[in-house]
Structure formats: structure tokens, C-alpha cells
Amino acid sequence: MNIKIANGRVIDPAYLTDRVEDVFIADGKIVARGEAPRGFVAERTLEAHGLVVCPGLIDLAARLREPGFEYRATLESEMDAAMAGGVTSLAIPPDTDPPLDEPGLVEMLCHRARKLNRAHVYPVGALTIGLKGERLSEMAELVESGCVAFSQANVPVVDNMVLMRAMQYAATFGFRVWLQPLAPFLSRGGYAHDGEVASRLGLPCIPTAAETVAIYTFVQLAKVTGAQLHITRLSSAEGLRLIRQARGEGMDITCDISINHLHLSEQDIGYFNPNCHLVPPLRSLHDRDCLRAGLIDGSVNALCSDHTPVDDDGKLAPFSESEPGATGLELLLPLTLKWAAESGLPLTQALARVTSDPARIVGITKAGHLAPGARADICIFDPDARRKITHKGLLSQGKNTPFLDYELPGEVRYTLVEGQVMYGG
Amino acid sequence: MRNPQLNDNGELQHLLTLDGLPRDILVAILDNAAPFTEVAEREVKKLPLLRGKSIFNLFFENSTRTRTTFEIAAKRLSADVVNLNVSTSSTAKGESLLDTVDNLCAMQADMFVVRHAASGAPFLIAQHLHQQGRDDIHVINAGDGRHAHPTQGLLDMYTIRHYKRDFTGLTVAIVGDVLHSRVARSQICALRTLGVPDIRVIAPKTLLPTDIEKLGVRVFYDMHEGLRDVDVVMMLRLQNERMNGALLPTPQEFYKVWGLTAEKLARARPDAIVMHPGPMNRGVEIDSSVADGAQAVILPQVTFGIAVRMAVMSMLAV
């Protein structure tokens, strides 16, 4: 179908453009901007006056809970949430049950996702079989099945020799390795940041050293193996300092943070709010402020939702016994806009962290920007609308987020995937 | 944020923690406890204040002493008491904490006395009762994880007040495993609220929480230095499983460095009192000569504990 998006404020972060113009779509692709191509007849026109037109968001971590945790969420429910959030590409961590360590599982996931015909999925394969940190997964096969990178999700590899071998093997093919910096023994049995709040509430802790020791290890192993390293869900100022230092020595390392760590700190735990039970833990205000500054200057490369739907039963338990995680797909855009407004950051720059920058990390070239020829994955939103986050208003099956009852900016009006209007209208 | 232990009129709805408990309420509990100490000396040790009320001792973690003192306190107030050791019953069958609570609500409970191994569990119960519209049911925290043990903190304050009268000139030292201690956290909060100007903690670094100074205490690693001129020494219990391992090398070494002996106690003021929440490890955190000595007020603590718990229960449920 030929679609014209008329009069929108078109923001293309990849090219730092921000101007009111029309966008023309045919055969699932963007064919032109500004002037209609010769002979273009729009079968449908989306009026976008006063709205922002930007690339569909690319989320580096969205747990859809299939296979294995369908009681918490299903592909259907979470794809609806993605569409409502303007998120059109999802990197899927491998911590499903069973984990994504087998080509057949990955093919099934991709097949199920394609049938639903909504957001594109980019599975991140398990680095080791069963995420057990013992035997390497069939990385070459997994990439053929659709994996874009390899990770251990939140399960650290205990044996550093195995980790080094896995990184070496991945580097043989040039595959990306995404690692969560959680040193196994230093993070064991902990639930909150080792700081003032946990000391007062008597919560067992995960010290910042769990992150820095892991980053230091990853950096050294990346150096000797030549693996392409992406560090996921950074939580501390000191961790970011180590990454900057490694880059200063010429290493090409990327990293991301979650929306939760961009806005919240240990203080938000309040009276044991289980919605603030997250991995990694929310750290100090100083850490949060350094991560925010890092996301502005680009030393933190991307912002992700770290979408982890948890059912109510999983959260109705004392803090340390509750399931960690929070829903996030529908909050990624609003929380990006909130951060941009609070930081006085232009939208071209802010939206880059959820579009073109994560696209580079996943290795997506045909989306994440709006140049003619790009896949027409587009998010159209009202930047001035404000919406209160409620249990009812969320489409994700996981209703738990620390941002419940927040009033957040931005409302998605249309989400297009390959030129089809999948949300709104 | 709404303080979950106070109702909309600022009155005590639950007793969950001493952190942030207003001073006037804390003092009122101590004041109300005083007359209850006399009840124990009567021939008939009973008052009709809670007649017809049902109190459930809901213990998700084993405890004989604390449960017994709550039971005695409730019975002296003429309440009906039901003891539930949940660690050995329903949760073992997979029932969730809140399912257990809902079941007991359906049995017309008036009060829950809750002990749980996870910090914050009584907050979850209080919040759940509020959401269920059951603000008529009260929760007393009888110890949650490492977080709080408010009635222990209160009975300790009662004891200090009994022997020292005024808090505002005192130097108090808390000695031992502060990291894992809900008692220490409650003590620190109460001592601050009552205006104690010099609160010290004495322990090895492995047994101190990060940034403990931010709770308003001075940190000492050395007993001789930390105990100098103190008015009150509050010893903490060292759990068996923490004596050998990565936190401490051996109980012997702990005793040598941090165990309270007569020689170390001599650094304190001559009229200093020695307290311990029990049960004591003699020869580990405290020497018998001190535990049984003239300065120890450990058994009066137990007696006052019943009066303080009677005061809390009667303030909540009457």
C-alpha cells in the first residue's frame, strides 16, 4: 500500500535532520521525503501535523517470555505492547526456558514472530549451552537461524576460561558478544545496591565491585580474544569510567543502560517497593546522574527498556523474594522524552539513543533511520501529550513497573512496520 | 510517601519499624509500659484490656523466646492467642505469604505478630491489609530479616531509661554483628530519635553495613577505644553460622578482639550498664563474668520486654 505521512515533524537521528516534511512509503519501504516521487498516488494519508515522525524504536532487551514463561507473557501480548510503544525491532535475550541455545528454538521464535507480523525480532543466542557457562553453543548455526549476537543474559559465566574460549570462538566469526557485568560471587545472594538505603532497610547487597570486576574481566578478555564486546545494562558511574578508560586505550566497546537506571536510584525502593527489585540493582543518585550524563555525551551508546514482564504473584512477596524485573516496552519512548526534556537535549540527539545507535549495535542497516530505501518502520507520536501510567493502560501482560502512576510525556499515534499501520488509525 | 505504620490521623496503626517513628509515639509507648511492669507482680497477672481479641503469632522463622514473650504479653491482656509456626506448615506446602494472611483474616484476626526471614515482609502484609480494606487488623513486626525488630529496640530504650533516666547526655556503644542485625538497626533509630548524642558501633569491617555512618553513628574497630567512657554497652548476638568463614576466622579470635570482658568493660564509665538481646553466646561475644556481673541488666531487659509488648498491643488494639 502507498502511504503518505503528511505534515509531520520528521526527525531522522541518523542524519541529524529535524524538519516538517512529508514521507512517502511504497512496498514497505520509504521511497521519498519532501517531494512525492513521480507518479506516486497515496492510497492512504496519515495526517501528522503537530506530531513527530521518527524511525520505529529499536530495543536492545525485550523479554517476550516465550518459550517457557507463557504464564507471565506471550508473544501476542508483548508484541501489542511493542506496537503501542512505537517499538518496531526487538533484541530478545536468551534467558527463555529452555534458553535460546538451539537453532530449532530460535527458528521457532522467529517463525512465531513473523506470523504475528508485528515487531521484527532479533534473537540474541545463548553463549553457552543452557546458559550454564560450561559448553559453547553452536554459534555459527545459531546465526544462520537468525541470532544477531551471543549473551549469557543475567547468568554470569563462573569459569573465566570458558568465557575466554567463548569470546575467542565468537571472534573467529566476528560475532558480537553482549555481556551483563555481574561478577558471579560478588553478586550472589544480593538484591539491592550496597549503599545507604540497603543498609537502612537491611537488604542483602550487590556491591558496585560486582559490576566493575566483571567489566575489567570482560575488557581484558576482549583485548586478548579480539571479541566485539557490548556491555549491557550498566548501573554504576565507576563501571562507565572503566569503559571510557578502555576506549581511551583504543578498544571499541559499546554499552547500554535501561530506562529504570536512567531515571531511578536506590532511594526509589522506599518502603521495600518490589517493583524496584531489578537486575542490576538501582544504585546511588550519583551513579544515576553519571549514567544520564553518559547517555547525553554518547559514552553510553544506547537506552533500552530491559522489558521483563513479571506477573503480580511474582511481585507480591517480600523484596528479596520477589521476581526481579519490570515491564518497559510501552515506557521506552515516554522515558526517553522525559530524559530529553529534563536534560534540555534536542530530540534528534535523544531519539538517536533508541533508534540509530541501537541499530548499529544490533547490526541493523535497513531500519533505524528514514533515508529513502529504508524499511518503513516508523513511529509517529504526539510529543506534547501526557499520559498517566496505570495498570489498566498497559498492554503488556506484566503490569509491574516502578513508573506506575507517573505522568509521562509522549503518546504514540501510529506505529508502522514495513509500511503497514500496525497501531493507531 | 505515606508512612505505612501510621493512619491518616498520624496515630499508630501498625508497629513495623522504629525508623521514622515519631518521638511522641515512641515516648508514649515507653510511658504506657511502666504501669504494666506492676501487673507481673500481682497475684492475678491479668488485665481485661484485650478480652475477646484474637492475636495470631505468625512466625515464618523459628523463635521460641520472642514468640513466648509476645504470647505472655497477649495473655496478660486477656487476648486469645494462636501460635502459628508457618515455616513448618503452609508455606512448606507452597502457600504464599499473603494467602496465609488472607486465611487468617477470614478467621477474624485482630492482630498479627509477624516474624519473617525476609526484610520488609511485615510491610507487605500491612500494605496488603490496607488494600483489602482491613485497616481494623494490626501488624506488629517481631523481626524481619536484617531490617527491624522494633519491640526489642523499644524494650532496650525502656531499660536504658529505667537505669539512666535521661537520654540526652548518653554515650552508647553497640558491639558485634551490626551487618546482619535487625536489633542494631532498631536500636540506632530509637537512640537517635530520643536524642542520644554519641552512638557508636564497634565491629570488624566485615560485620558493618556500607555507609553505616549515614545512620548517625560513629564507627570504631577497636574495643578499647570504642568503649571509652560509654554509659551503655549493647552487645549483639553472633549467629553460629557466621563464626567460621569469610566474615570471621574463628569465634576465638572474635572473642579475643571484640568479646566483652571485664578488662574491656573497665574502659566504660563505672556505672555503665551492659545489655544483650539474648540468647547469649558466652565466651564468644560476652564473658560470663560480665554477663552475670553487677553491671549486666540482661534479665531485667526480658522482664521489661513483656511490659513494652503489652503497651504496644494495647495501644494498637484498644
Closest CA to A300 of A386, A241, A216: A241
Does B217 contact A at CB distance below 8 Å?
A: no
pLDDT band, very low/low/confident/very high, at B1 (cuts 50, 70, 90): low
Tens-place pLDDT, residues A319-343: 999 999 999 999 999 999 999 999 9
* Residues of chain A with C-beta less than 8 angstroms from the C-beta of B210: 194-196, 198-199, 205, 207
Nearest-CB residue to B147 (from A194, A201, A316): A201
Tell me which of A306, A313, A382, A384 is the catalytic residue: A306
Residue numbers in B near A192 (CB within 8 A): none
Joined grid coordinates for residue A332: 521506552
Percent of chain B with pLDDT over 70: 97
Lowest-pLDDT range of A13-22, A64-73, B106-115: A64-73
Helix, strand, or coil (residue A264):
coil
pLDDT of residue B40: 81
pLDDT of residue B280: 95
Instruction: Evaluate if residue B24 carries a pLDDT over 80.
Output: yes
Helices within chain B (DSSP H only): 23-39, 65-76, 97-106, 121-131, 150-164, 182-193, 223-226, 251-258, 262-265, 288-291, 298-317
Q: If you classify domain A3-53+375-397+407-423 with CATH, what class do you get? A: mainly beta
Find residue B131's DSSP bridge partners.
Answer: none
| Chain A interface includes B121 (CB < 8 A) | yes
Residues contacting residue B82 through CB under 8 Å, at least 6 positions apart: B54, B55, B56, B57
Q: What is the pTM of this model?
A: 0.94
Picking from B58, B86, B206, B211 by the largest number of A CB atoms within 10 A of its own CB, the best residue to mutate is: B211
Examine the pLDDT at B318 and tell me if it is beyond 80.
no
Answer whether A343 touches B (CB < 8 Å).
no
Find, among A285, A256, A258, A291, the residue nearest to A269 by Cα: A285
Q: How high is the pLDDT of residue B282? A: 96
- Could you check whether the bond before residue A123 is cis, i.e. omega within 30 degrees of 0? no
Domain boundaries, chain A: 3-53+375-397+407-423, 56-362
Q: Which of residues 126-145 of B touch A (CB under 8 A)?
A: 127-128, 144-145
Residue A86: phi and psi, rounded to 5, are: 75, 20
- Torsion, CA B123, CA B127, CA B129, CA B134, rounded to 10: 120
C-alpha–C-alpha distance, residues A22 and A5, integer Å: 6
Rounded to whole angstroms, the Cα distance separating A182 from A280 reads 8
B91 pLDDT band (50/70/90 cuts)?
low
**What pLDDT does A136 receive?**
98
Nearest CA in chain A to B1: A270
Is residue A306's pLDDT more than 70? yes
Judged by CB atoms closer than 8 Å, whether chains meet at A320 and B98 is answered as: no
Q: Indicate the helix (H) or strand (E) that contains A210.
A: helix A208-225
Facing B119 at nearest CB: one of A194, A207, A320:
A320
Residues of B in Cβ contact (< 8 Å) with A272: 119-120, 123-124
Question: Does residue B244 have a pLDDT over 90?
Answer: no
CB contact A203 to B (< 8 Å): yes
How far is A153 from chain B, CA to nearest CA, in Å? 26
Question: Bridge partners of A205?
Answer: A192
pLDDT of residue B89: 57
SS3 content of chain B, % helix, strand, coil (to 5): 40, 15, 40
Q: Using CB atoms, which residue from B4, B127, B212 is nearest to A199?
A: B212
566483652: which residue's cell? B260
Integer Cα distance of A91 and A118 in angstroms: 14
Nearest to A218 by CA among A208, A209, A228: A228
Q: Cα(B190)–Cα(B153) distance, rounded to whole angstroms? A: 7
Please give the full DSSP string across A141-195, using - where no structure is assigned.
Answer: HHHHHT--EEE-TT---S-HHHHHHHHHHHHHHT-EEEE----HHHHTT--EESS
Nearest CA in chain B to A284: B211
C-beta separation of A6 from A46 below 8 A = yes
What's chain A's average pLDDT? 97
Provide the ipTM.
0.93
Q: What is the least distance, in Å, from the CA of A236 to any CA of chain B? A: 16
**Residue A388 in contact with partner chain B when CB distance is under 8 A:** no
Residue B245 confidence (pLDDT): 81
Identify the band that residue B240 occupies on the pLDDT scale cut at 50, 70 and 90: confident
Which residues in chain A have their CB less than 8 angstroms from residue B4's CB? 271
B18: chain A residues, CB-CB within 8 Å? none
B4/A contact by beta carbon, under 8 A? yes
Are A316 and B123 an interchain contact pair (Cβ–Cβ within 8 Å)? Answer: no
Tell me how far apart the alpha carbons of residues A279 and A227 are, in angstroms, rounded to a whole number: 25
pLDDT in tens, A254-276: 999 999 999 999 999 999 999 99
Interface test with A, best of B95, B115, B119 (most A CBs within 10 A): B119
Spatial strand order in the sheet of B111-116: B80-85, B54-59, B111-116, B138-144
Q: What's the average model confidence in pLDDT over B85-110?
A: 80
pLDDT exceeds 90 at position B142: yes
Alpha carbon separation from A40 to A8, A26, A27, B80 (Å, rounded): 18, 9, 12, 83
Q: Which residue of A has its CA nearest to B3?
A: A271
Overall size of chain B counted in residues: 318
Average pLDDT of the residues of chain B: 94
**pLDDT of residue B136 exceeding 90:** yes
Residue B308, CA distances (Å) to A5, A293, A380, B148, B184 in order: 72, 51, 63, 16, 18
**B210:A270 CB<8 A:** no
DSSP state of A132: -
User: Between the CA atoms of A13, A15, A20 and A23, what dihedral angle is there, to the nearest 10 degrees?
Assistant: -90
Give the chain B residue whose CA is nearest to the CA of A203. B119
CA A326 – CA A400 distance, rounded (Å): 5
Sign for the pseudo-dihedral over CA of A144, A149, A154, A155? positive
Using the predicted structure, report yes or no on whether residue A50 has a pLDDT greater than 80. yes
Best mutation target among A193, A194, A199 (most B Cβ atoms within 10 Å) is A199
How far is the alpha carbon of A204 from chain B, nearest alpha carbon, in Å?
Answer: 8
SS3 B202: strand
Q: What is the pLDDT of residues A99-150, one digit of tens each?
A: 999 999 999 999 999 999 899 999 999 999 999 999 999 999 999 999 999 9
Query: How far from B235 is each of A140, B155, B198, B279, CA to CA, in Å?
Result: 61, 14, 16, 11
Cβ separation of A317 and B124 shorter than 8 Å?
yes
For A196-215, how does the pLDDT look when each residue is reduced to its tens digit (9 = 90+)? Answer: 999 999 999 999 999 999 99
Backbone φ, ψ for residue B144 (5° rounding): -125, 110
Contact yes or no for B144 and A204 at CB 8 A = no
Q: Does A269 touch chain B (CB under 8 A)?
A: no
Q: Which CATH superfamily is domain A56-362 in?
A: Metal-dependent hydrolases (3.20.20.140)
Mutation site, A186, A201, A311, interface B, largest B CB count within 10 A:
A201
A199–chain B Cβ distance below 8 A for any pair: yes
A425: pLDDT confidence band, cut at 50, 70 and 90?
A: confident
What residues contact A290, with CB distance under 8 A and at least 6 apart? A236, A237, A240
Task: Tell me the per-residue pLDDT of B259-282, one tens digit each, with 9 for 90 and over.
Answer: 999 999 999 999 999 999 999 999
E strand or H helix that includes residue A243: helix A237-248
CB contact under 8 A, B185 and A194: no
Going by pLDDT thresholds of 50, 70 and 90, the confidence category of residue B63 is: confident
The verdict on whether A59 is a catalytic residue reads no
Q: What is the pLDDT of residues A66-108, one digit of tens each?
A: 888 888 888 999 999 999 999 999 999 999 999 999 999 999 9
Mutate to test the interface with B, among A236, A271, A405 (most CBs of B within 10 A): A271
CB A284 within 8 A of CB A265: yes
B286-305 pLDDT per residue, tens: 999 999 999 999 999 999 99
Task: Cell numbers for B269, please give them.
Answer: 564509665
Give residue-wise pLDDT tens across range B188-203: 999 999 999 999 999 9
* Percentage with pLDDT > 90 across chain A: 96
Closest-CA residue in chain B for A196?
Answer: B211
* Residue B212 contacts A where some CB pair is shorter than 8 Å: yes
B315 touches A at CB < 8 Å: no
Cell 553460622 identifies what position? B241
Q: For residue B94, what pLDDT is reported?
A: 62
Q: For residue B17, give the chain A residue with the closest CA.
A: A201
Q: Which of A194, A202, A272 lies closest to B124 in CB terms?
A: A272
Identify each DSSP E strand in A349-425 by its residue range: 378-388, 407-417, 420-423
